Homo-oligomer: A and B are copies of this chain.
Amino acid sequence: MAPTTTTKTGQPFDRSQLDQLLRRRMFFTQSFEIYGGVAGLFDYGPPLCALQANFIDFWRKFFVIEEGMLEVEPTILTPHEVLKTSGHVDKFADWCCKDPKTGEIFRADHLVEEVLEARLKGDLEARGQAINANTGAEEDAKKKKKIKAQATAVKLDDATREEYESILAKIDNYDGQGLGELMTKHNIKNPATGGDLLLPVAFNLMFETSIGPSAQLKGYLRPETAQGQFLNFAKLLDFNNQQMPFASASIGKSFRNEISPRAGLLRVREFLMAEIEHFVDPEGGKKHPRFAEVADVELELLDRDVQLSGKTTTTRMKIGDAVAQGIVDNETLGYFLARIQAFLKFIGVDQTKVRFRQHMANEMAHYAADCWDAELLTSYGWIECVGCADRSAYDLDVHSKATKTPLLVRETRKEPLKVEEWVAEIEKKKFGPKFKKDGKTVEAAVEALSQELREKLSIDLKEKGKIEIPVEGVGNGTVELPKELITIEKRTRVENTREYTPNVIEPSFGIGRILYALIEHNFWTREGDEARGVISFPPIVAPTKVLLVPLSNHADFEPLIQRLAAKLRRLGISNRLDNSGASIGKRYSRNDELGTALGITVDFQSVKDNTFTLRDRDTTKQVRASEDEVIAAIQRLCDGSETWADVAKRLPAFEGQEVD
C-alpha cells in the first residue's frame, strides 16, 4: 500500500497541491494536450528542463569525468537482429490481460496489486480505522470510484488479509501463469465493470518501426542504451589502450510501450536514461580498486530472501560488511551502490527515503545474474529509480556468437601459465594409406578424445601396443590403432596470454523518476502561507541559482542588474531577472515555487555604495554585503563549499522586511 509520506518539514504531503504547482508553473505538461493528450507522454517545461540539464551536467562530472569513463552515444533506432540476439524480442514483455467485452487492456501485475490493495483498504474501513490518504483528494475520489466494484468497506478474515499482504510483498516475482492463478483464485475482474478478463499474455514493450524505403529492415526504438555500448566493446577497449577494467557511459532516450501508464512522470513511454557499463574481469571476485573508499558507507538493504518470506524490512549495514557476508555479491556491485547513494545525496534526495532492494529470481531481467535497485520513497510508494545489475558475460557472449566477432580481452599473463595435458599425435604418413577415405574421420575422433580417456589409453598403448577407439560410421564403429600409428604422452604447454569475456556491472539511472522523487522530497509549504509551495533544491541542481530583484523599474538599477547578471553568467551561475511590478515578497515567493536558491535585491542603497542584500530561499533570511562579497558567497554556496549558515555567520544580517 502506498505509504503515507511527509514533507521534509514534517507536514503531511499533499500530492494534488504539488501536482497543481508543477502544472501551473510549467514544470511539465501532458504531451499533445490540445489534441486530448497521449498517456505516458509528457513534455518538460522550462524549470524541469533546467533541472534536468543541471542533473546531466553533474552526473557527467560525478561519474564520467571523475572515473574516466568513456562516453558513447549509440542510436535509438536498432535493427531487429540485434534485439533478437540480446533476448529483448523474445523476453522484454509485460503480462497483460484483455477484457473481451470492452476491449480494455490491463497490465496484470498492476491490476492484481491495485485490487488487493483496494480490498485491504476496504477491510481497514470496515474495521473502522481511518485511512491515511496521501494521494490528492480528487485523484483519490477517482480511484475509489474505479475500484468500487471490488472493494468498499468489506471486512476480510485475518488469513485472507495476511495472504494478500504476502502476495503484495512479492508481487514482482510472479510470471504470467502465476498472475493468472492469482486472478482466478482471488476472483479479480475488470475493476470498472466487474467483467471477466482473459488470462495474461505477454506483450512486448518495444516500439516497432521499419528502416529505409523498402520496409525490409525491421527495427525497434531501443528499450535501453546498453546494447549500443556492448556492440562497441572492442573499439572501446582499444580506445582505452586495452586496459581493464573500464566503463563506458551513455545518456539518452529509451522507449517502452507501457500497457496502460498512469502514475504521472513515474511511468512513461519515452524517458531519459544515464547508463554505465563497467567491464570487469570475472576472475578474482570482481574486486574494485576504489572499494576501500566506500567500504564504511551504510546502506538500507532489502535482500531477496526477506522479500520471499513475505516481508519488506530493511537492514542498515556497511557496504563492506554486506559484501563480506555475501549479501551483495561483489566489490564492484557494492562500490556502485555506494556511489549511487552518494550521488543521490548530493543532488538533494532525502536520505531517509532511499533503500536498496534486491530483485527476486523471476523479477530479474533475462540478462541479469543479480540486481539491486535504488528505490526512492514517494507518495506512489517505493519507486525503482536506479537499477544496478550484474549482467555477467551474457550480452557480450550472445553478440559475439551471433556475429562471430570476438568480444573479449586478451592479456599477457604476468606469470606464463603451464598447462599439463595428454597429447595424442598420429603418424600422418601411415594414416592415409591405412584408412583411405576414412582417414579424416578417424583423425577427428582422435582429436575429440577427452583428457581422461587419453590418460587411460596411454596405458593400454604401453601395455598392449595398440588401442581401440570408437569412430562412428567407420567399420563396426570401433577402430584399432597400433603404436606405429599413434603416440599418447603427457606434455607441458606454456600459455603466455589469457583470453576472457568481461562481466558487466550496470548502474542504470532513470532520470525522470529521480527528478520527480527529488521534487517530492524537497517540496514543502511555509507556515502561514500554505497556499504557496517552496521547493528546496540544492543550488547544484536548482533550475535557476539566483533571482535578481530590483526594488522597482527605476533606471538607476539597470546598470547594476546588468553587471551582476554578466558577472554571474561568467561564473556559470544561471540567473533570472524579475522586474515585474509585483512586491518584492511576492516576487520571491513566486520563485520559491520554482526552487530558485538565492536572491539579490537591488535598492537605492546599492546605487550609492554598491552593497546588496542576499536572500536564502529556505530560511528567507538576508545578509547585506559588497558586490564582491555577495558574488563570492554565491559561488561558494553553489559549488557546495559553504552552507547558508556559514554565510550568515560571516556576513551582517539584513533585517529589512520582505513587503508582501
Contacts and interface: CB of A to CB of B under 8 A. Distances in A.
Contacts of A103: 214
Given A34-B403, A77-B269, A235-B26, A214 B105 contact: yes
Nearest to A33: B231
B60 A72 contact: no
Contacts of A52: 73
Given A43-B232, A213-B203, A35 B569 contact: no
Given A38-B211, A39-B212, A212-B39, A72 B44 contact: yes
A61 B50 CA distance: 12
B639 A73 contact: no
B82 A232 contact: no
A209 B212 contact: no
Given A31-B228, A213-B203, A45 B72 contact: yes
A459 interface: no
Given A105-B213, A207-B209, A239-B45, A399 B34 contact: yes
A73 B60 contact: no
B239 A32 contact: no
Contacts of A255: 77
Given A208-B209, A574-B65, A232 B29 contact: yes
A576 B67 CA distance: 11
B45 A232 contact: yes
Contact residues of A: prevailing secondary structure: mixed
Contacts of A576: 68
B26 A212 contact: no
A122 to B, nearest CB: 29
A46 B77 contact: no
B257 A212 contact: yes
Contacts of A41: 75, 77
A302 B73 CA distance: 36
Contacts of A32: 78-79, 82, 231
A61 B572 CA distance: 9
Given A73-B44, A73-B52, A211-B257, A639 B34 contact: no
A26 B270 contact: no
A71 interface: yes
A26 B74 CA distance: 12
A74 B213 contact: no
Interface in A155-212: 203, 207-212
A236 interface: yes
A241 B582 CA distance: 12
Interface string A234-253: 11101101000000000001
B31 A43 contact: no
Given A82-B35, A208-B209, A209-B221, A241 B43 contact: no
Nearest to A43: B74
Contacts of A70: 45-46
Contacts of A208: 209-210
Interface in A532-590: 569-570, 572, 574, 576, 580
Interface in A17-57: 25-26, 29, 31-35, 38-39, 41-46, 48-50, 52-53, 57
Nearest to A76: B270
Contact of A236 (B26, B74, B209, B260): B26
Contacts of A126: none
A96 interface: yes
Nearest to A216: B103
A226 interface: no
A75 B42 contact: yes
B26 A49 contact: no
A634 to B, nearest CB: 16
A492 interface: no
A347 interface: no
24 contacts: A32-B231, A33-B231, A35-B81, A35-B82, A35-B402, A38-B211, A42-B75, A43-B228, A44-B73, A48-B73, A49-B71, A52-B73, A68-B576, A75-B270, A76-B76, A77-B270, A103-B214, A203-B213, A207-B209, A207-B210, A208-B209, A212-B259, A213-B260, A241-B580
Shortest 6 CB-CB distances between A and B: which pairs?
Answer: A44-B73, A49-B71, A34-B403, A34-B405, A43-B74, A207-B209
Interface of A: 25-26, 29, 31-35, 38-39, 41-46, 48-50, 52-53, 57, 60-61, 65-66, 68, 70-79, 81-82, 96, 103, 105, 203, 207-214, 217, 219, 221, 228, 231-232, 234-236, 238-239, 241, 253, 255, 257, 259-260, 269-270, 399, 402-403, 405, 407, 569-570, 572, 574, 576, 580, 639
Given A26-B239, A45-B72, 16 more contacts: A26-B235, A26-B238, A31-B74, A31-B75, A32-B231, A35-B231, A44-B73, A45-B232, A46-B71, A46-B239, A49-B71, A77-B270, A203-B213, A207-B209, A212-B260, A213-B259
